[in-house]
Amino acid sequence: MGKPTGFKEYQRQPTPERDPSSRTKDWKDYKQPMDEEEVKKQGARCMDCGIPTCHTGTDMNGMPSGCPVYHLIPEWNDLVYQGQWKQALEREHRMNNFPEFTGIACPAPCEGACVLGINEPPVAIRSIERAIIEKGFDEGWVQPEPPAVRTDKKVAVVGSGPAGLAAAAQLNKAGHHVTVYERSDRIGGLLTYGIPEMKLPYSVVERRVDILEKEGITFVTNTEIGKDYPASELRQDFDSVILCGGATRHRDLKVEGRELKGVHFAMDFLHSNTKSLLDSNHDDGAYISAKGKDVIVIGGGDTGTDCLATSVRHGCKSLTQFDYHTKKPSERQEDENPWPQWPVIHRVEYGHKEAEAVLGQDPRAYTVLTKKFVGDENGHVKEVHTIEVEQYKDENGNRIKKEIPGTEKVWPAQLVLLAIGFTGPEQDLIKEMELKTDPRSNIKADYGQYKTNLDGVFAAGDMRRGQSLIVWAINEGREAARECDRYLMGATQLP
């Protein structure tokens, strides 16, 4: 590395954020660009470790460790420190088609596996990643690169989330004629409608889609395969198909009162908000509003945090986020969560900061189990009844939950958002195509091969592996494209 002692001299500085109170008054990106000299210092903190673990993604104990797209992280950290930004951009794009997506919305398992992170704050890899790609766009270095030669093969990609876009980008590079089908009115899948505008602006997605279009990819919106376009015809019209429809079947909460008005899936809340915002700046009123309401968010993950930030911007009256688990420790527990596993620690994310700034306190309530919803005379939710739970491990290591008598509580609520994840892909298309599934209802296709039981049909991303990370979706989209290219041509040069 150009600065062998950089990790001793410089402190970790993540991407700057706008003031939590003021930023809740708009829907603009809540982060600010990092000063170029500061980015170089952050790159200098990369310590030239003998065996870097940041760039090799794997699952450890059910959690991600390292980068699933095998980003050349030490290389582009050093290039940034040296001021060689264009070369850093080339290294960044070599393994990841969309560093602007992962630089914003990836939880950065690379940082959890950073060697420096064993006893110091890890290198701010995600911040550097975003800085590189944004400089690339600012300088005009990111330009369409259509293939010099086209094959006579046609490939259909179903779904325009990160897996679908990555597969399409790679197959287009190989010279195939690629068409991407999206059932929504905008390209991007959950990148567009699952992540709020202030976290991942649609302009960032649109900017990349424009480049992909100029490179020759055809995008078709408002078209659901299996309904608007029969799957049998799709297979006849194309030489190969890659299914990247995601895992969008909601996990429900089956308790008394679930049918009441005002109880919604978190993704319906986020989707309607973003669509209305992009369509009319909310003037059409076609969204689920939290304005003036007591809002309960059930679920402690990223989607729940996005619901917090959205509700605050609507102008909610109060806001509480139920977390079934205990409050996590501030530092990783080496006996249960050793490096380089993803650190399971207490985090204060952007939505928590905003809720506390506007409403006066961190919105989270821990070890809370929802027992029932109670409605008013109009069938609209007015209360959530809960009880606290304690969790422990039995002699076999199984986690046991136990309700604590006397901890019952009633919470006022006119809006309840269920942010408890997904159970797998929607099944209609899978059943129509008679695709085999695994025990978790995902399309059965071996990792690294991505072949389904149908000839010429591949599956990748959450539709194959279940609910996961953006960076894993990009990994699978790229690899599925490689195997699809091999199927079409007999050999492949795709990575």
Residue 80 backbone dihedrals phi, psi, to 5 degrees: -65, -45
pLDDT at 29 over 80: yes
CATH architecture of 6-138: Orthogonal Bundle (1.10)
Determine contact, residues 81/2, Cβ cutoff 8 Å.
yes
Q: b vs e for 267-288, b when ≥16 Cβ sit within 10 Å of the residue's Cβ?
A: bebbbbbbbbbbeeebeeeebb
Domain ranges of the chain: 6-138, 154-249+423-489, 252-420
Quote the Cα angle for 277-282-287, to 5°.
85
Burial of 9 (0-12, 13-18, 19+ CB in 10 A): exposed
Quote the Cα angle for 76-80-81, to 5°.
120
Tokens of 151: 């094959």
pLDDT at 63 over 90: no
Report the pLDDT averaged over residues 112-119: 94
Determine contact, residues 298/370, Cβ cutoff 8 Å.
yes
What is the reported pLDDT for 385?
98
Q: How confident is the model at residue 62 (pLDDT cuts 50, 70, 90)?
A: confident
Residues with Cβ within 8 Å of residue 84, at least 6 apart in sequence = none
Query: Are 154-249+423-489 and 252-420 in the same CATH fold?
Result: yes
pLDDT at 406 over 90: yes
Q: Are strands 381-393 and 409-412 parallel, antiparallel or unpaired?
A: antiparallel
Determine contact, residues 252/368, Cβ cutoff 8 Å.
no
pLDDT tens, residue by residue, 120-142 = 999 999 999 999 999 999 999 99
What is the reported pLDDT for 178?
98
Report the pLDDT averaged over residues 368-397: 94
Percent above pLDDT 70 for the chain = 100
Determine contact, residues 325/344, Cβ cutoff 8 Å.
no
Distance separating the N- and C-terminal Cα atoms of the chain:
27
Report the pLDDT averaged over residues 230-235: 97
Determine contact, residues 117/339, Cβ cutoff 8 Å.
yes
Q: b vs e for 454-482, b when ≥16 Cβ sit within 10 Å of the residue's Cβ?
A: bebbbbbbbbbbbbbbbbbbbbbbbbbbb
What is the reported pLDDT for 142?
98
pLDDT tens, residue by residue, 208-219 = 999 999 999 999
Cβ neighbours, 10 Å, residue 166: 29
Q: How confident is the model at residue 61 (pLDDT cuts 50, 70, 90)?
A: confident
Class of the domain covering 154-249+423-489: alpha beta
9 against 60, higher pLDDT: 9
Q: For residue 175, which amino acid is it?
A: G
pLDDT tens, residue by residue, 271-319 = 999 999 999 999 999 999 999 999 999 999 999 999 999 999 999 999 9
As beta bridge partners, residue 443 has 437
How is domain 252-420 classified at the CATH fold level?
A: FAD/NAD(P)-binding domain (3.50.50)
Q: Rounded distance, CA 392 to CA 406, Å?
A: 19
Q: How confident is the model at residue 425 (pLDDT cuts 50, 70, 90)?
A: very high
